[in-house]
Amino acid sequence: MTAPKPLRADAQRKRDALLATAREVFGTGGFFDLRFDDFARLAGVGTGTLYRHFPTREALAEAVYHEEVATLRDRARQLQATLPSEEALATFLRVMVDHMHAHQGLARTLATLMAAGSGALAEGSQALERAVTDLVAAAVKDGSIRDDVGAGAVMMALHGIGAAHDRPDWRAEADGVITLVLDGLRRPAR
């Protein structure tokens, strides 16, 4: 499989403008209320440019999601390289909660797309689980957390937090769940 040909600078700017506009619209929750062609106008590009880069609404949402997953993966690597393992894991889990809070519109859009058969959410979830697996493995290796609870359990907790995003005190409760997860992962004092 060959890598896609790099975009010209002007084409890359237009694609980036479309993605930035989509992120803003996700933030307001109006993704499905806005006509797809209106993304082009909001982004300051032509309709043909929109369809050339993103032939469907789903393709646009998936592209935003892929960028968000890549950013989170990079953040996990950066934390693992610069912090003690337990602190890196704790910080990343809190980063994930912050991300869920800041991107609720994208999460709702992706849930709708997943129901329609998009594989992007599963693919992104696997990439994030690999990042969490690496963080957990490093903390297990240095003995700062238990070795009998894996990354899958941590991911289940994160999925549960995300699924409960419509609760009135979601943010505070999400922080509390992360604290419970981290407390449960620590090795018992001997």
Cα–Cα distance, 190 to 180 (Å, whole number): 20
Distance CA 46, CA 37 (A): 9
Domains of the chain: 1-55 (1.10.10.60), 57-185 (1.10.357.10)
Instruction: Give the model confidence (pLDDT) of 77-88 as tens digits.
Output: 999 999 999 999
pTM of the model: 0.83
Q: Measured between alpha carbons, how far is 119 from 62 in angstroms, rounded to an integer?
A: 9
Q: Percentage of residues in the chain with pLDDT exceeding 70?
A: 84
- Binned at pLDDT 50, 70 and 90, residue 107 comes out as low
Which residues 6+ apart lie within 8 Å of 52 measured at CB? none
Number of H helices, E strands in the chain: 9, 0
pLDDT in tens, 15-71: 888 888 888 887 766 666 778 788 888 889 989 989 998 998 888 888 888 888 899
